[in-house]
Structure 1
Amino acid sequence: MRVSTRFSDSVHILAFIEIYQDQRLSSELIASSIETSPVVVRRLMGVLRENGLIATKKGTAEPKLSKSPDEITLLDVYLATEGDKQLFTLDTNTNPDCIVGGNIQKVLGAYYEDAKMAALRKFNNVSLQDIIETILVEQKAKEHNVG
């Protein structure tokens, strides 16, 4: 099963829009940064627009963030792109007559829920501004051959 990259690609798009806000931002240009197709970028931008994270004008390459980057959390982006999708999936096809097979779903399910809540709490405490600032620090370190 392929793991979805909608969330990370959406964060990528939002950071790209903010960092390159003074340029013409076509879906082709954004797609070249993500190394995906412009169709995927347009689809994700549609989701971001529907969820109030970006504003776009039909026929122009001028997407803008709808809010300041410090007002957009990773949780906002996650909920917009993944909704209530499970972070982890349990195998429900186990032998109920086996000690492990008969109990693994209940036991793992509780741990999975704890991990999911921890991740969502962390996402709620990280803003797009935090991501952008870290990207810029990483780039500066690269330019100085550090790290």
Structure 2
Amino acid sequence: MRVSTKFSDSIHLLAFIEVYKDIKITSSVIAISINTSPVVVRRLIIKLRKANIIVNDENKQPSINGEPKNISLFDVFMATEGYADLFKIDKDTNPLCIVGRNIQDILKKYYTEAQNAAYSKLNSLNMQDVIDNMLINDKIKKTNKKTALNLND
């Protein structure tokens, strides 16, 4: 089973829009950063616009609708992935077997708890958290690169 990257690509897209809000942004420019096609970016923008997370100005320049701190990662998840079970249970097991007859009930309980915990965590994080941590991470990488270059002198 292939896991969708729409959620992570949407977070990437929103962070890009905020970090580079002072330049002209197109789906082609964002696509280069995500390493995907502009068509994929446009589809994500449409989903985020329908969820009122992104707005376009009079020049069709995308921007985050409001403050990044007010957009939870759960909001982004729901806009891009929608509600669906995160975990799938095999319903076609042998009811004559003790395991086959009981495993779905047990796993459903565990999977529901795990999904609720994941949704709760996503709801506690916001786009400003992502942007702040990304910028800090970039400074660390730049510092480490400079340090490595100095050690080679």
The letter for the 2-side match of 1:30 is I
Partner residue, 1:51 = 51
* One-letter amino acid of the counterpart of residue 5, structure 1: T
Secondary structure in structure 2 of the residue aligned to 1:32: helix
Matches of 1:58 and 1:102 in 2, distance apart? Answer: 59
- For residues 51-82 of structure 1, give each alpha carbon's deviation from its aligned partner in whole angstroms, at most 9, with x where no partner exists: 0000125873x101112000000011111111
2:4 aligns with 4
In 2: Cα distance, 1:58 partner to 1:79 partner: 27
Amino acid at match of 2:94: N
Structure 1 or 2: more helix by fraction: 2
Alignment of 1:103-114 (within 5 A): 103-114=102-113
Q: Does 1:91 align with 2:107?
A: no
Offset of 1:92 from its aligned partner?
1.2
CA-CA distance at 1:37 after TM superposition: 0.8
Unaligned regions of 5+ residues in structure 1, if any? none
The aligned amino acid for 2:21 is: Q
What is the aligned partner in structure 1 of residue 63 from structure 2? 64
**Percent of residue pairs identical:** 50
TM norm structure 2: 0.90
Partner of 1:30: 30
Q: Hey, what's the Cα distance between the residues in 2 that align with 1:105 and 1:58? A: 52
* Structure number with bigger Rg: 2
What TM-score comes out, normalization by structure 1 length?
0.94
User: Once the two structures are superposed, what CA deviation does each residue of 1:97-145 show, in whole Å capped at 9, x if it has no partner?
Assistant: 1111111111011100000000111111101000000000110000001
Distance 1:106 1:79 in 2: 26
Cα distance, 1:83 vs structure 2? 1.4
Distance in structure 2 (CA, Å) of the matches to 1:105 and 1:117: 18
Give 2:117's aligned residue: 118
Aligned partner of 1:82 in structure 2 is 81
Alignment-derived partner of residue 39 in structure 1: 39
Tell me the SS of whatever aligns to 2:99. coil
Counterpart check, 1:21 vs 2:24: no
Paired positions, count: 145
Distance 1:83 1:51 in 2: 11
SS of the residue corresponding to residue 144 of structure 2 reads: coil
